Chain A
């Protein structure tokens, strides 16, 4: 029974396309995040949401638009994909906002833009 699940696991697409990644958590957590892990394996926060409200947008280009229809879901839509968007995108959730408790991560979506 997967706690944080994201789909798809792999995504290969051409430059200029628009794509979405979906994330769902069944932990009853209030807070969800998107992280990007680049080719150097560095994990960097993109967005955090608390109870469907955007809390952090870490200077991410506005081609990236997160959407949280309810607190169990946080999807990521990316417009006009660029080569530099190639990375692994991880969704995560935590019980509360603020990092007092651990974060649980999804399996990741490996995005390759060609």
Chain B
């Protein structure tokens, strides 16, 4: 079983739609969680950190469910510019590394 699993997609959605991605992780000792965004041929960039209480940044909402070991990202009112690959990232306690999921591709269509 992969340490961090994501549906690779692609998710093709029309502009203005709401889309949600889930990610599951296997190491229950994981302590930090992030969503990164990677555009084609670019480096990953932090979209948002994921806190136990959940967090929201504009159109983006992230949730953490420790009991079920999954993280979610909700994007409301999708824009064309949201088209990218969204990477779920987990940092297990004591491992000194960031573990990436394979990413979920999102295409927002006009």
Report which A residues bind B (CB closer than 8 A): 31, 33, 35, 40-45, 48, 50, 55-56, 58, 90, 92, 94, 97-108
Shortest CB–CB separation between residue B7 and chain A, in angstroms? 14
Which of chain B's residues 43-74 have a Cβ closer than 8 Å to chain A?
A: 43-46, 49
B22 sits at the interface (CB 8 A): no
Q: How many A-B residue pairs have CB under 8 A?
A: 60
Report which B residues bind A (CB closer than 8 A): 31-32, 34, 42-46, 49, 85, 87, 91-100, 102-103
Task: Report Cα–Cα, A98/B78, bound state, in Å.
Answer: 33
- By DSSP majority rule, is chain A's interface helix, strand, loop, or mixed? strand
Shortest CB–CB separation between residue A107 and chain B, in angstroms? 5
> Would you list 25 pairs from A and B whose C-beta atoms are within 8 A, ordered by A residue?
A31-B96, A33-B97, A33-B98, A35-B100, A41-B102, A42-B100, A43-B87, A43-B100, A45-B99, A48-B97, A58-B97, A90-B43, A92-B98, A98-B91, A99-B32, A99-B91, A99-B96, A100-B31, A100-B32, A100-B91, A102-B34, A103-B98, A104-B46, A105-B44, A107-B42
